[in-house]
Amino acid sequence: MKLFTEDNLCQVLNVNKAAIKELVNIDKIPYKIINGEVKFCPNAINKWIIKPELRMNNNKFIERYRKRLLEKYPKEMKAIKEFSAQFAEPHEPKLFYLDPVKNKKLGIVYYVRYLDNGKIVPSHWTTKTNNKEAAEKYAIKNRDRLLNEYYNRNNKIKPDSGLYSIFKNYYSENSPYLIIDKKRGRVLGDKSRVTYHNFINKQFIPYLRKSGIKEINQIDTSVLSRFQNYLLTDKKQNGKTINGLKPQTINHYISYISLIFDHLIQEGHIKINPCKSLITLKIKQEDQEITGCYEVEKLKGIFNKIWKDQFSYLLCLIIYTTGIRNSEIERIKVIDIIEIDNIHFIDIKESKTKNGIRKVPLHDFVYRKLMAYIRKTKKLHVSAIRGHL
């Protein structure tokens, strides 16, 4: 279903844009944030229009408006405050103010909102009375108790919410956890990050909830072993059979769950990583896939044709004749092209695994094309070139 923009909704409801923005700001209308833009679902608007909640908290509106003026006109607002100070009478602040709210039984009821350390506490409490004097006495008498309860409630994190919050956000965009990982030398590509994020949120977290897991310490090796079996099993959805994941894929995903547990150990939340004692799934012969380069004889003529894009030509030539992964090609430097016994190799010195560190032979035809491209683009002797290809 096509979603409405703010301008679309203004036309539908015949209101101005400022009204729509204010409804969004005070969460009085259903909306979504998609790619940084506010959108509205027509179905949600259909339900909302039957009984819209339009009552505004005037104090919140005034406070937001004041902040907007401070951000836009800081010097002017400061000048007004300094001018006003000349006429202010000395007084002791109450550190609270009362907000009258309509009430069916009493007509109005005073709610108290406190100031603490120069800031408004983002919560308010009913005084259960419509008498202003009695409301003030209630606010003064109960200040410490109400504020203590508020701060203690905010600082107390339920094990369930803390557990799922970490798993849910670990591989999210701009994750603080990945920033720490990066400082520790572990860099994750954006494509991989999205893959792991989707797996955790669409597979792992739903499985934990379905299994009744509420605390981190409840996740042990047996829970993860059952999760492996769950991923291996074929499932039926809408009358169709969805094949289970392959063992090598499951092992790969478990390794990235393991990294989250490593982080929890570093932060002192747990003492043991349950993934470490988990038995790795064995890969069957039929599930294995052998990859490598194409036979040069089969490529005859393909790379003799004229290509418009010489860089793409060179990349394809290296890929099809060496079997090197794209990520490895991106890291090749000229100094990595070496010669041993009159045979040229690409020396891959860095890899995620020991098997990835290797010397890949270059066909003479490929080497000549590669050197020609380097000389043409750099216009320098090969031994003097130190930049990336």
pLDDT at 380: 40
Longest dimension (CA), the chain: 99
Of 192 and 288, the structure prediction assigns the larger pLDDT to: 192
Task: Compute the distance between CA of residue 303 and CA of residue 305 in angstroms, rounded to an integer.
Answer: 5
Summarize pLDDT for 97-141 with one digit per residue, the tens: 888 988 888 899 999 989 888 788 878 899 999 999 999 999 999
H/E stretch holding 306 reads none
Task: Compute the distance between CA of residue 374 and CA of residue 335 in angstroms, rounded to an integer.
Answer: 12
pLDDT at residue 241 above 80? yes
- Give the tokens for residue 251: 């092992």
Which residues sit opposite 96 in a β-bridge?
114
Task: Compute the distance between CA of residue 269 and CA of residue 215 in angstroms, rounded to an integer.
Answer: 11
Of 289 and 235, the structure prediction assigns the larger pLDDT to: 235
Using CB atoms within 10 Å of the CB of residue 270, give its burial: 0 to 12 exposed, 13 to 18 middle, 19+ buried.
middle
Collect all residues with Cβ–Cβ distance below 8 Å to 5 and sequence separation of at least 6.
Answer: 37, 38, 39, 40
* Residue 243 to residues 98, 212, 247, Cα–Cα distance (Å): 62, 25, 12
pLDDT at 61: 74
Q: Provide the residue ranges of all domains of the chain, joining segments of one domain with +.
A: 6-50, 92-155, 159-287, 296-384
pLDDT at 225: 93
Summarize pLDDT for 347-365 with one digit per residue, the tens: 887 765 556 678 888 888 8
3 by DSSP, 3-state: which?
A: coil
Total H helices, total E strands in the chain: 16, 11
**In this structure, CATH architecture of domain 296-384:** Orthogonal Bundle (1.10)
pLDDT at residue 58 above 60? yes
- Give the tokens for residue 27: 């969460």
pLDDT at residue 271 above 90? no
Helix axes 132-141, 143-155, angle to 10 degrees: 60
pLDDT at 285: 59
pLDDT band for position 381 (cuts 50, 70, 90): very low
Helix axes 247-266, 176-183, angle to 10 degrees: 90
pLDDT band for position 371 (cuts 50, 70, 90): confident
Collect all residues with Cβ–Cβ distance below 8 Å to 315 and sequence separation of at least 6.
Answer: 329
pLDDT at residue 386 above 80? no
Q: Is 232 left (phi over 0), alpha (psi -120 to 50) or beta?
A: alpha
Task: Compute the distance between CA of residue 134 and CA of residue 82 in angstroms, rounded to an integer.
Answer: 35
Sign, Cα dihedral of 198, 199, 203, 204: negative
Sign, Cα dihedral of 319, 320, 322, 325: positive
- Amino acid letter at 249? T
Among 8-12, 58-62, 176-180, 260-264, name the one with the lowest average pLDDT: 58-62
pLDDT at residue 157 above 50? no
User: Could you give phi then psi for residue 310, rounded to 5 degrees?
Assistant: -70, -30
User: Could you give phi then psi for residue 349, rounded to 5 degrees?
Assistant: -95, -20
pLDDT at residue 162 above 70? no
Of 381 and 127, the structure prediction assigns the larger pLDDT to: 127
pLDDT at 262: 87
**Contact (Cβ atoms closer than 8 angstroms) between residue 324 and residue 345:** no
Of 111 and 89, the structure prediction assigns the larger pLDDT to: 111
Summarize pLDDT for 166-178 with one digit per residue, the tens: 888 899 888 888 8
Q: Give the CA count within 13 Å in the CB-facing half-sphere of 172.
A: 9
DSSP letter (8 states) at residue 201:
I
Q: What is the mean pLDDT of the chain?
A: 81
Work out the average pLDDT over 144-155: 79
* Residue 242 to residues 203, 236, 285, Cα–Cα distance (Å): 14, 6, 22
pLDDT at 131: 93
Work out the average pLDDT over 9-38: 88
Topology classification of domain 159-287: DNA polymerase; domain 1 (1.10.150)
pLDDT at 222: 92
353 by DSSP, 3-state: which?
A: coil
Q: Give the CA count within 13 Å in the CB-facing half-sphere of 123.
A: 10
pLDDT band for position 11 (cuts 50, 70, 90): very high
pLDDT at 137: 92
pLDDT at 156: 47
Work out the average pLDDT over 89-104: 77
pLDDT at 8: 92
DSSP letter (8 states) at residue 284:
P
Residues 161, 163, 167, 172, Cα dihedral to 10°: 40
pLDDT at 385: 35
pLDDT at 323: 79
Collect all residues with Cβ–Cβ distance below 8 Å to 230 and sequence separation of at least 6.
Answer: 207
Which residues sit opposite 242 in a β-bridge?
235
DSSP letter (8 states) at residue 27:
T
pLDDT at 244: 86
Among 37-51, 252-266, 368-382, name the one with the lowest average pLDDT: 368-382
Among 15-19, 247-251, 283-287, name the one with the lowest average pLDDT: 283-287
Summarize pLDDT for 41-53 with one digit per residue, the tens: 999 999 898 888 7
Task: Compute the distance between CA of residue 47 and CA of residue 30 in angstroms, rounded to an integer.
Answer: 9
